[in-house]
Chain A
Amino acid sequence: MYKVRKRIGSVISVILKLIVSFIFIFPFLWMLSVSLQSDAETQSMSLTLIPKVLQFQNYVNAWHSAPFPLYIRNSLLIIVGIVVLQMLIMVPAAYAFAKMEFKGKNILFGIILIAFMMPIQIRFIPIYFMMSDWNLIDTLWSQIIPHMTDAFGIFLLRQYFMQVPDELIEAAKLDKSTDLQIMWKIMLPMSRPGVASVILLSFVGHWNDYFWPLVMTNSDAVRPITIGVARLKATEGSLFWNTIMAGNMFLVIPVLIIYFFMARNIIKSFTYTGIK
């Protein structure tokens, strides 16, 4: 009886997982499908899931209808800039919050958590004025500087660093390490999964960011790929969904590649139990 019940349980669990996976994967598969359909198929009333002939020409059309190499270059510059600056700022901040004692530590951390809870839409007007005062509107910098630090990243790294035993830091101090050395040579290598997920979350978030670059830029020269893809709609005049979806694939593919490389670390970081 117990065995049967266990069987039924596992069957139900598999079905539920399939349903959830389907909900998440279907839009993506549909996007892929549409990106390979002919114009007639996208406009016909009956739903096409598997195109009769794969229309790779859509990708070529999309690539040529906007300056994609420029957009991708901009996106990469912005992302690398953000990630590098974030690491330089967030790692020491998280280390200080996790392992140092100083006056006002809890209040400061509370302020960071409040920032974490506040959506960007509330903050963008003052930041816009700030960028405008610094003459940074319509530059890559206005898309990098406001994201130099991230409350959630500091929070996540701090949680990781707190798991590093104090004795290790004390041992390192007796080994004549500076705080900087302790951070880079001991804390960071021990928190690799955490660092990887912070980088990935930041990458995905900013790669897909549409709102911020839309506010901060006026010209193609500094625009990232998200704006480029959205502009496919405008340049094409009437809606060619297959071309738009092909453009969207340009947006998604880099994220997928990165995810496949880092998947193990990320899963580890969310199932982490501590350092033995």
Chain B
Amino acid sequence: MGEIVLKNVTKKFGSNTVIQNLNLTIKDGSFTVLVGPSGCGKTTLLRMIAGIGPQTSGTVCIDGKDISEVAPGDRGVAMVFQNYAIYPTMSVYENIEFGLKNNHIPKDKRRKLVDDACEKVGLQELKDRQPNALSGGQRQRVALARAIVKQPSVFLMDEPLSNLDAKLRVQMRVELIELHHKLKTTFVYVTHDQIEAMSMADTIVLMNEGKIMQMDSPRKLYRDPDNLFAARFIGSPAMNIRRFGNEEYVLGFRPEKGIISTQEPQGCYRTSGTVVAKEDLGSEIHYSVRDMYDDVSVIRSEEDDITVGEKVWIGAKPENIYLFGNDQLRIREDDPRYPDLCRQVLALQ
């Protein structure tokens, strides 16, 4: 129905190469999120699939068919844009109907399809409105309905929630997940927000500087990052890191796996410092502790009597520590260097 394969795609803007020889397979029916910092090439990739920013070289296939030379309107894809891109001079109904009209679908069938799409996103009451009389959330729904109505095999979404307020964003997130379940087609979603990526995706493609850093399920990406970039990008507050062994290696641990105590912890990596901030978020408490190198974050879910300015010990158990080499790649348990590095970490002060 909607498997997307990108083969050796390269994209250049003038002399500037944004993506070089990238290969990616997006599974049919998956909710794949392309995530990464600004300028990492995720939107460029999406526009390649849509055909509105074609690749300089390489091929894009949907369902095994090379669509590199196929016009955007004939690719069987629908796209939701960041600023919605609703036609301002057409009513909600006309906006949704426009694509069907261009596809020469008969009028009564069009009406039925538009009605169905409106129902799916909750726009039944607003069909005759003009776009300027809609709120941001409603415009977003029009953009979604316009995509749904075409019954595409692939949905492409370019940061569709970034213009909404925080509360609406959370609500729309849930609605998009539901919509994916209902439609069972391939969703490709671009965002720079790792929380959106974690909460919606079944597969995350993490990108940086035009390269795929890791492609995995949210859980695997969080718990088992392949490299330092993935480890640092996913998770908030970010993973704590420290260089060791003549700056050659990096150790990291997640704030929620950190131990904070007034006593020196045993059998752990440990460091001591002063509490510089304590943020009580209700369900959890975030500590920032400054040791001799850097600030370290620790999250605790229980109340305790540690106060700002107090000298404390920070620790992390060996099983919660991630090790990375000079090449930024992960050093896993099966690596010959692992046992020795572990010993070094435990001996660190």
A binding-site residues for B, Cβ under 8 Å:
165, 167-168, 170-177, 181, 185-186, 189-190, 275-276
The one of A170, A176, A190 in contact with B85, judged by C-beta atoms closer than 8 angstroms, is A170
In the bound complex, residues from chain B placing their C-beta under 8 Å from that of A185 are 87, 98
Question: Could you tell me the distance between the alpha carbons of A177 and B132 in the complex, rounded to whole angstroms?
Answer: 23
Q: At the interface, yes or no: B229 with Cβ under 8 Å from chain A? A: no
Contact of B81 among A167, A175, A186 (CB under 8 A): A167
**Assembly CA distance A170 to B71 (angstroms):** 11
Chain B CB within 10 Å, residue with most, of A170, A186, A190: A170
Contact of A171 among B81, B103, B132 (CB under 8 A): B81
Q: How many chain B residues have a CB neighbour from A under 8 Å?
A: 24
Please determine whether A170 and B103 come into contact, CB atoms closer than 8 angstroms.
Answer: no
A residues within 8 A CB of B146? Answer: 171, 175
Q: Mostly helix, strand, loop or mixed at chain A's interface?
A: helix
Residues on B close to A: CB < 8 A? 50-52, 71-74, 77-79, 81-83, 85, 87-89, 98-99, 102-103, 132, 146, 150
A186 touches B74 (CB 8 A): no
Q: Is the CB of A165 within 8 A of B83?
A: yes
What 4 pairs between A and B have smallest CB-CB spacing?
A176-B73, A175-B99, A189-B89, A167-B85
Taken together as a complex, chains A and B put the C-alpha atoms of A22 and B269 apart, in Å, by: 87
Q: Which of A167, A181, A189, A275 contacts B102, CB < 8 Å?
A: A181
Shortest distance from the beta carbon of B323 to any chain A beta carbon, whole Å = 44
Taking a contact as CB atoms under 8 Å apart, the answer to whether A171 and B102 are in contact is: no
Q: Which residue of A lies closest to B149 (CB)?
A: A175
Cross-chain contact B87 with A186 (CB below 8 angstroms): yes
B102 touches A177 (CB 8 A): yes
Contact, CB under 8 Å: B74 / A176? yes
Given A174-B72, A177-B102, A190-B89, 9 further pairs, Cβ under 8 A: A170-B72, A170-B81, A170-B85, A174-B51, A175-B98, A175-B99, A175-B102, A175-B150, A186-B89
Q: Contacts of A172 on B, CB cut-off 8 Å?
A: 87, 98
Measured between beta carbons, the chain B residues less than 8 angstroms from A165 are: 83, 85
16 CB contacts below 8 A, A to B, read: A165-B83, A167-B82, A168-B85, A168-B87, A170-B50, A170-B79, A171-B146, A172-B87, A174-B50, A174-B52, A174-B99, A176-B102, A177-B98, A177-B102, A185-B87, A189-B89
Total residue contacts A-B, CB cutoff 8 A: 60
Report Cα–Cα, A37/B88, bound state, in Å: 53
A176 interface neighbour in B50, B87, B99, B132, Cβ under 8 Å: B99
Cβ–Cβ < 8 Å partners of B99 in chain A: 174-176
A275 touches which one: B73, B88, B98 (CB < 8 A)? B88
Cβ distance B152 to chain A, nearest Cβ, rounded Å: 9
Q: Please state if A190 and B72 are interface contacts (CB–CB under 8 Å).
A: no
Q: How far apart are B7's CB and chain A's nearest CB, in angstroms?
A: 22
Q: How far, in angstroms, from A175 to B72 measured CA to CA in the complex?
A: 8
Q: Which chain B residues border A175 with CB–CB below 8 Å?
A: 73, 98-99, 102, 146, 150
B170 CB to nearest chain A CB (Å): 25
Residues of B within 8 A of A181 (CB): 102
CA distance A170 to B72 in the complex (A): 9
CB distance from A12 to the nearest CB of B (A): 38
Tell me which residues across on chain A come within 8 A of B52, comparing CB atoms: 170, 173-174
Contact A177 B85 (CB under 8 A): no
Quick one: closest A residue to B103, CB to CB? A176
Q: Find out whether the CB atom of B89 lies under 8 angstroms from the CB atom of A173.
A: no
- B72 contacts A173, C-beta separation under 8 Å: yes
**B150 to chain A: which residues have CB within 8 Å?**
175
Shortest distance in angstroms between A161's beta carbon and chain B's nearest beta carbon? 14
In the complex, residue of chain B having the shortest beta-carbon distance to the beta carbon of A275? B88
| Distance to closest chain A CB from B309 (angstroms) | 49
Contact call A171/B88, Cβ cutoff below 8 A:
no
Chain B residue at minimal CB-CB distance from A173: B72
Q: Which residues of A contact B132 (CB under 8 A)?
A: 276
A173 — which chain B residues lie within 8 A by C-beta?
51-52, 71-73
Instruction: A172 to B78: give the CA distance in the assembly, Å.
Output: 11
Bound CA–CA A276/B71 (angstroms): 29
Please give, as numbers and ranges, the residues of chain A lying within 8 Å of B79 by CB-CB distance: 170-171, 174
Give Cα A171–Cα B89 distance, bound, in whole angstroms. 14
Q: In the complex, A171 Cα to B88 Cα: how many Å?
A: 12
Chain B residues near A174 (CB, 8 Å)? 50-52, 72-73, 77-79, 99
C-alpha gap A99/B19 in the complex (Å): 25
- Chain B residues with Cβ below 8 Å from A168 are 85, 87
